[in-house]
Amino acid sequence: MRSRAIYGCAGLVLSAEERDFFRDVKPWGFILFARNVASPDQIKKLVAQLRDTVADAKAPILIDQEGGRVARLKPPQWLARPPAAPFGALHAENPQRAREAVYLNARLIAHDLTQLGINVDCLPVLDVPVPGSHDIIGDRAFAADPTTVIALGRAQIEGLLEGGVLPVMKHIPGHGRAGADSHLALPRVGASLSELSASDFVTFRSLNTCPIAMTAHVVYDSIDPQRPATTSPKVIRDVIRGEIGFEGLLMSDDLSMQALDGPLSLRAKAALFAGCDLVLHCNGDMGEMKDVAAEVKELEGLSLKRSEQALAHLSVPDEGFDPQAAQTRLAGLMGAGA
């Protein structure tokens, strides 16, 4: 039985200590960062090493491959992908072209990932930025209106799924109003519940059949002024599972981010108690991972069921997909909107 955690690793290959640790704690999955990336062959070997530790050839391997400034796979080995905002700009001119462009871009990202054995992408970003908010979201968002975010987010989900990659919508229930970067500080949002319902929550509510979602390390004063969403039973119960109606697999954002405080073991315990199905720890620090593992139990019950349902969305991509033709078409669509 696997545990309720996703871990990163420190480098380009697994150390003996990492292999032993992962074999012992059997995480649900793993996540890759730029520090783990050198070449396609190296990534394939690392992915195989990770999966070997849990004796599962299909174990979830996650990555943040959005495009723009959030991309772990970069040129020259991989083609640079645009951030979300240019697709939103195209949507303002020609919604049909924009939807096709987003679908093709996501399908091409999925193609890049599956070639390496990666089967989960932390995408789409469904946050709706507002004027004056921190630019940690910025051009990672499709637009500042929920309607555009929903239309293009749906196309992105479809492209990833059809390419054999599970999408993870983030950052539920909404990071767009945050006035701080949650990697560095705890953001607080003072908007009323009615404001949040009308804008921030609606994108996630409209796409609530996405298999996996990632929480926001954001405090919503009108809902729970004491705890960020990740560790708030009230936000997860009343908003994420309640108003938004998300019934899929819920994972935390990275526990090591500075928006959270206290020992890593207590962060993990609080997130799981609040209602997260899985906790994410990214930086590959062995001491911190051991602290997290001390509080992470086996995946069982409703969380196990949600995991099984999410993984059931994984499919084998169509062998007839032509990445060169798709890239040519995508370039034409984006050029037409310029």
- Helix boundaries (H) for the chain: 16-25, 40-53, 85-93, 95-114, 146-162, 193-198, 200-206, 233-234, 264-274, 286-293, 301-311, 323-336
- Among 83, 61, 58, which residue's Cα sits nearest to residue 70? 83
* Active-site residue, from 64, 200, 253, 291: 253
253 is catalytic: yes
SS3 call for 212:
strand
SS3 call for 41:
helix
Determine the Cα–Cα distance for residues 234 and 238; give it in Å rounded to an integer: 6
285 is catalytic: no
How many whole angstroms from its chain centre is CA 287? 24
SS3 call for 254:
strand
* Active-site residue, from 183, 221, 318, 322: 183
- Among 250, 251, 260, 255, which residue's Cα sits nearest to residue 283? 255
Q: Which residues are catalytic?
A: 183, 253
